[in-house]
A = this chain, B = another copy of it.
């Protein structure tokens, strides 16, 4: 395989990872929209997208594996391919979180609607913007953009802590609505996990770009 062809394939790999990221982000958006408007048809869409996301994950992994097998890549390309493999796994798990949220929306739909003291759409917007920004760092090979994601994670964690206290207080006042509050708490946790995956992606981007492993240093 010529060097030019090899680099074209690396570009292909990058393109596909971006499609994968778009699918994962869309799944989160739909699941949260399903929550907001109590629309189960959106849950169906999320459930259906899971299979596409999973098969896309396999395809990207296979491409990466083929590139590793066919040519002995240079250090920077090697790190790029490894970053793709790891980011791919994180994006697939973002999709899993969307499925998990949409299942909770179904459970909530079977219960009386009640006002919940937690701003799920806001948490989702923040977590999604983390995923987008981590991917922007990946597209632009910009470690600083990726690094800004790590700071955003604290905001998601804070919203999540606030959700714990407000839902806990609500339950004490209106114990009848405990199931609804517990579902909302778990959806908030799902979104916190999306933020964690975005953080992992950002760390992988930094590792690729800087060639140094900064994981656990920045968050310590």
A178 to chain B, nearest CB (A): 4
A78-111 near B? 1/0 per residue, CB < 8 Å: 1100100110010000000000000000000000
Q: How far apart sit A174 and B42, CA to CA, in the bound complex (Å)? A: 36
B78 contacts A213, CB within 8 Å? no
In the complex, A57 has a CB within 8 A of chain B: yes
B185 contacts A178, CB within 8 Å? no
A25-41 near B? 1/0 per residue, CB < 8 Å: 00000000000000000
Query: Which of A62-70, A124-132, A139-147 lies on the face that meets chain B?
Result: A62-70
In the complex, A58 has a CB within 8 A of chain B: yes
A54 contacts B182, CB within 8 Å? no
A82 touching B79 in the complex, CB below 8 Å, given contacts A51-B220, A216-B54: no
In the complex, A135 has a CB within 8 A of chain B: no
